[in-house]
Structure 1
Amino acid sequence: MSQSPFVKKVVKGTFWLTFGSVMAKGLTALAYLVLARILTVNAYGEYGMVKSTIDNFLIFATMGVGLTATKYISELKDENKQKASSILGASIVAVTLLSSVVFLVLILFSNSLATSVLGNEALRLPLILAGGVLLFISVNGVVGGALLGLQSYRSMSVINSVQGVLLFVFLCLGGYFYGMVGAVAGNLVAMILMCLISWYILRSTLKEIGMKISLKNLKESLRSIYKFAIPASLGMLVVAPTIWILNTMLVNTPDGYTQLGVYTAVLIFSLAIRTVNGSLSNALLPIFLSKDMEITPKKEFFNYHGAWILCLLISIPFIIFPEIATYILGAKYPEQDVILILELSIITTFLISFKQGIHRDLIKKNRMWLSVLSTGIFASTAIIVFLLLKDYGALGFAISFLAGYFMNTVLVIPLFVYLKVTPKNTFRSFWILLVVGLVGLLAYNAIYTQLIILRSLVSLIGLVLLLFCVYKFYKKMISLKVSE
């Protein structure tokens, strides 16, 4: 198994993507931590609101074109380079036009958005600057999607690493000298430079493999993009506005921007865990999209369960000792709130990682319309729960996200198995229920057991049981696949 081409591809891809992502998102997360200490909690909440707003508009600026480029280039790069080149050219044209329109809309309506919706006139200029960030992120996303489809993991690693350095430098400098507005402006400068660098790397990579950016058959290529990109983007067209609506609801409560600042700061730690998971997912996607991919029981297990097992291993220190986060963030963030929100957000990340393999199924089988149903369950649950808990501020915010993804997980997985999107018995096991229960027990122990020696002892016993359950689950899943 150690000599398997599949293992080599996954290890190599995951290594380079993880290295690049750790550099990019790790340095960005570090920059956010610096900003969290430089800015007031209220100003950091304002920055979080601007970022959330742009993340929301980013969906309309990209419309799933980057993922579409990954899918088609993965499938066509070997057998039809000309068509792959045309898809790439059309993708760049499409996302440039889309993001330019969205940027113009932000410029025209920034005042109304800042004053009437967000209740903060001071956010007008940051929103305009962030619109520029959106434009360059969108183009850069297509470049990344193309390199991922080409399985050019090393090039992506270089791009991500440089991006991390640029964002760290300009976010920190901007925030230090000019506060929240300076941080947004620094983000814009970093992304302009990043877009120029990634464009050069893409051109060099294409030249090496005999491809180019082509505008031949533009209408036909745009039609192909449209057929996949629209359903691919619909899921995010539900998620991003939902997060933005929740953020807007939170900032319009008493002390709302401060509460958003607390939640955004704590979320940095969960986002660090998702960085590694995202790298694994990105490495697996083009491999499993390849038409010559031979599926074995071990590969299938890794496809569906590798992400949440990896998430579990990385998050264990934070689950057992959440005080790490309080120490890093500093005294101005309330300790008990930070601990509770951290535990809730890590469990939420754990649930999200459960469905990464299913997401690849939707892409491979062109069933992206089902992602709308999946995200709709999350959205409706999260909004309803937060309406009931909004008086609890950041804590109620974290609970609403956990509730949304919990309902999404328990309803979507059985449905997709029933619809034969995902193979039967993929998640049906008593051992996996024990894993979830033990994760909850470890979190409960960390929150309510103050004596460190007792907490460590209980955690050690829980970890041994957890690893045993994961091992038994692995053996059962492999035996089931072999017998089918």
Structure 2
Amino acid sequence: MKIKSIISKFRFDDSIINRFVKGAFWAVFGNVVVKGLSLLSSIFIARFLGNFSFGELSVIKTTLSVFSLMATFGLGLTVTKYIADKKKNNLPEIGKVILAANKITLFTGSFLGILIIIFSPLISKYILESENLIIPLRISGVFLFFNAMNVYQIGVLGGLEAFKKMARVNVIVGLFSFPVMIITTYFGGLNGALVGLTLGLIFNWFLNRKLINKEVLKLGIDQRDSKVSIDYIKKMLKFSYPLALSEGVYSVTNWLLIYLLLYKTNYGEVGIFNSANQWAQMILFLPGAISNVLLSFLSNQENDVKNYNKILKLNLIFNIGITLVFSILISVFSSFVFRLYGESFEGGEKVLTILVFSCIPMSVIGVLEHVYISKSKTGMIFIFKLIRQSILLLIAWIMFSFYKEASSLSISWLVGYIITALIMILYLFKKRILKLN
């Protein structure tokens, strides 16, 4: 009887639950293939490059994330929210949303990509303190552009609830990228690894573009008839700029954390941390895969308190459960995992064990952030992210005073994310924004 009463709490409108579960299933399925192949290829890449060059690749990718935040300007989540809203009562405006997002991203992505290419010698010499990274950074300018385009495309497809077809695209891209990454890295080293990453993004952009055009036509919308004014673009940017600021805080402080690790140690320790972090990201791919599904459905059910809270509760339980199980499994086999990377990555199992458990509070925070976006309270996300990243920097600075190794940064992540998750939960309940009864 007790089990039945627990199950009954999760029963709500069949059409809603079926759409949500199907969307979540296909989002997870597609990402399983992509993330699995990506993780496997990263092991080969790490062995080919060694911990030093792999650390250089990690620093470049982290540096790119700072520029990417300006290129995407929070449009991924904004577009998902807008399109999910328009699907209910204003289909023709979906074309406007897509066109506006495309124009913004084309401008910001091109501008910042060219900026990186032009200033790569200065970034390499004075910021990354290595003149060997000029060519990798120039390749990264192209990577940045197509990454920005992919972010907004994923937002569009999430809003359109094309999760099954997105899964198919992800599988095709994963199967394409896996051999390309290994071949380009084997023959081209660090430059080859970045070329492989860029080729994968270009292929992904092409397939996403075809899929978006097909899905929009199915809704009877001709994008050629869509016109967008400067005022409409400003309206979207007004909604997205708090998200862009929060992503900015996240990317800049993460870059500072990695740079602090590099400053206090060396590229080898950065390589060890990043290889461990890839496994942590692998755990987070399941919660992350359904984040667009969650936002789309929360936006659709914003005015239906019962369905809204049950979707939210279901997602929280799923996130905590799945991250806990995988964190335990990976920590048990952490020594075996790092033997796969080679001798230069010795000692990484300690970093990995700590990092994987930070995924639990991280997955909770991800769900709570979507609550704010669905209720158009994007400014609060910026405030909480600023608090969280400040805590991480403070703890990391203290930890590096005692231990100059990658494990110091992983401890900072674990403690910082736990504190932030607790603060967010307490605030949400106090303001009666979150009700799980």
- Structure 1-normalised TM-score? 0.83
1:77-113 residue CA offsets vs partner (Å, 9 max, x unmatched): 2311121210111011011111111112112221111
- Aligned counterpart for 2:412 among listed residues 373, 389, 400: 400
Distance 1:361 1:2 in 2: 19
Residue 243 of structure 2 contacts residue 378 of structure 2 at CA under 8 Å; is this kept in 1? yes
1:39-66 residue CA offsets vs partner (Å, 9 max, x unmatched): 1110100111111111221101000112
The residue identity in structure 2 corresponding to 1:409 is A
Higher relative contact order (CA 8 A, sep 6+): 2
Query: Is 1:288 the counterpart of 2:288 in the alignment?
Result: no
Q: CA deviation at 1:249?
A: 1.8
Matched with 1:238 is: 249
Which sits farther off after the overlay, 324-333 or 26-35?
A: 324-333
The residue identity in structure 1 corresponding to 2:216 is L
Matched with 1:422 is: 434
Q: CA deviation at 1:3?
A: 8.3
Matched with 1:444 is: none
Distance 1:247 1:357 in 2: 25
Matched with 1:125 is: 135
User: Residues 2 and 293 of structure 1: is their aligned pair in 2 closer, same or farther, counting only changes over 3 Å?
Assistant: closer
Query: Is 1:304 the counterpart of 2:316 in the alignment?
Result: yes
User: Residues 212 and 420 of structure 1: is their aligned pair in 2 closer, same or farther, counting only changes over 3 Å?
Assistant: farther
Matched with 1:380 is: 390
Q: CA deviation at 1:383?
A: 1.4
Distance 1:25 1:62 in 2: 22
Which sits farther off after the overlay, 110-119 or 245-254?
A: 245-254
The residue identity in structure 1 corresponding to 2:257 is L
- Aligned counterpart for 2:260 among listed residues 249, 265, 283: 249
Matched with 1:223 is: 234
Distance 1:314 1:396 in 2: 22
Distance 2:409 2:187 in 1: 31
Distance 2:103 2:251 in 1: 23
Distance 2:29 2:311 in 1: 23
* 1:330-479 to 2 correspondences below 5 Å: 330-334=342-346, 337-390=347-400, 391-423=403-435, 426=436
The residue identity in structure 2 corresponding to 1:331 is E
Distance 1:299 1:140 in 2: 27
Gaps of 5+ in 2: 1-10
Equivalent position SS for 2:297: helix
* 1:21-420 to 2 correspondences below 5 Å: 21-213=31-223, 215-254=226-265, 256-291=266-301, 293=304, 295-296=306-307, 298-334=310-346, 337-390=347-400, 391-420=403-432
Distance 1:272 1:339 in 2: 16
Distance 1:103 1:414 in 2: 41
Distance 2:89 2:335 in 1: 53
The residue identity in structure 2 corresponding to 1:175 is T
Q: CA deviation at 1:326?
A: 2.5
Q: CA deviation at 1:182?
A: 0.8
Distance 2:371 2:218 in 1: 31
User: Residues 300 and 375 of structure 1: is their aligned pair in 2 closer, same or farther, counting only changes over 3 Å?
Assistant: closer
Distance 1:181 1:401 in 2: 30
Residue 91 of structure 2 contacts residue 219 of structure 2 at CA under 8 Å; is this kept in 1? no
Which sits farther off after the overlay, 409-418 or 227-236?
A: 409-418
Residue 74 of structure 1 contacts residue 149 of structure 1 at CA under 8 Å; is this kept in 2? yes
Q: CA RMSD in A?
A: 1.9
Distance 2:379 2:186 in 1: 44
1:287-338 residue CA offsets vs partner (Å, 9 max, x unmatched): 111147562464342143321122123333113343342343333321xx32
Distance 1:72 1:405 in 2: 29
Residue 84 of structure 2 contacts residue 296 of structure 2 at CA under 8 Å; is this kept in 1? yes
Matched residue pairs, number?
422
Equivalent position SS for 2:345: coil
Distance 2:256 2:344 in 1: 27
Residue 266 of structure 1 contacts residue 325 of structure 1 at CA under 8 Å; is this kept in 2? no
Which sits farther off after the overlay, 129-138 or 193-202?
A: 193-202
User: Residues 125 and 350 of structure 1: is their aligned pair in 2 closer, same or farther, counting only changes over 3 Å?
Assistant: same
The residue identity in structure 2 corresponding to 1:343 is T
Distance 2:222 2:329 in 1: 46
The residue identity in structure 2 corresponding to 1:147 is L
Residue 262 of structure 1 contacts residue 394 of structure 1 at CA under 8 Å; is this kept in 2? yes
